[in-house]
Chain A
Amino acid sequence: AQKITQTQPGMFVQEKEAVTLDCTYDTSDPSYGLFWYKQPSSGEMIFLIYQGSYDQQNATEGRYSLNFQKARKSANLVISASQLGDSAMYFCAMVGGGADGLTFGKGTHLIIQP
């Protein structure tokens, strides 16, 4: 069975600071994909970044980067230069080779303060 753990229920960060959202995962599949999604209060899940289990380098997408530490089964999201619009729920998710759908963590509620 797959499991995603996000240990930070909520975070307050000052605008323009960098923020790291924690995610650890558990799977026995050698092949898997890791995803981060942002969910504003409107409800829509917005895809941010993807990391494959065989990728040698950490994924980056604009202000988002994924700190992938395979041996530690860790896939932390780093947001550089945070903005007020970054305030939202953030979900870490994974899919394995034989998985039934994305497995999500419980999310981190990020609030950016001016």
Chain B
Amino acid sequence: KAGVTQTPRYLIKTRGQQVTLSCSPISGHRSVSWYQQTPGQGLQFLFEYFSETQRNKGNFPGRFSGRQFSNSRSEMNVSTLELGDSALYLCASSLEARQTQETQYFGPGTRLLVL
């Protein structure tokens, strides 16, 4: 069974631009979560989607948004990019809406550099 895939793997943007990242979960997984990883802040939860609905959202500004499609694929969008948005963005999928016993499986991540 294929793992979580993320595209693109690397991205360079300039301040003020917007960017869309894509995530395809493991086949059969219905929940997709997004995380941001930076050297300063570590790994931080962005949001979780299940059945095309956002279930939870982390403490990030409204410039960060996402959506999930009927096939469970998810996209996240960052508008008006800032230098501080440079990070590794990780997508994770799990079978069901996250409960304490659900394991999240991560993709390889998208490395975003904002210049």
Contact = CB atoms under 8 A, between A and B. Distances in A.
B contact residues, range: 20 to 34
A45 B103 contact: no
Contact of A43 (B33, B57, B88): B88
A101 B109 contact: no
A102 B35 contact: yes
A46 interface: yes
A48 to B, nearest CB: 10
Contacts, number: 64
Interface residues of A, number: 27
Given A53-B100, A96-B100, A44 B58 contact: no
A47 B103 contact: yes
A47 B101 contact: no
Interface stretch (A12-20, A27-35, A71-79, A80-88): A27-35
Interface stretch (B15-23, B42-50, B76-84): B42-50
Contacts of B106: 37, 44-47
A45 B98 contact: no
Contacts of B107: 44
Interface of A: 31-33, 35, 37, 42-47, 50, 52-53, 91, 93, 95-97, 100-107
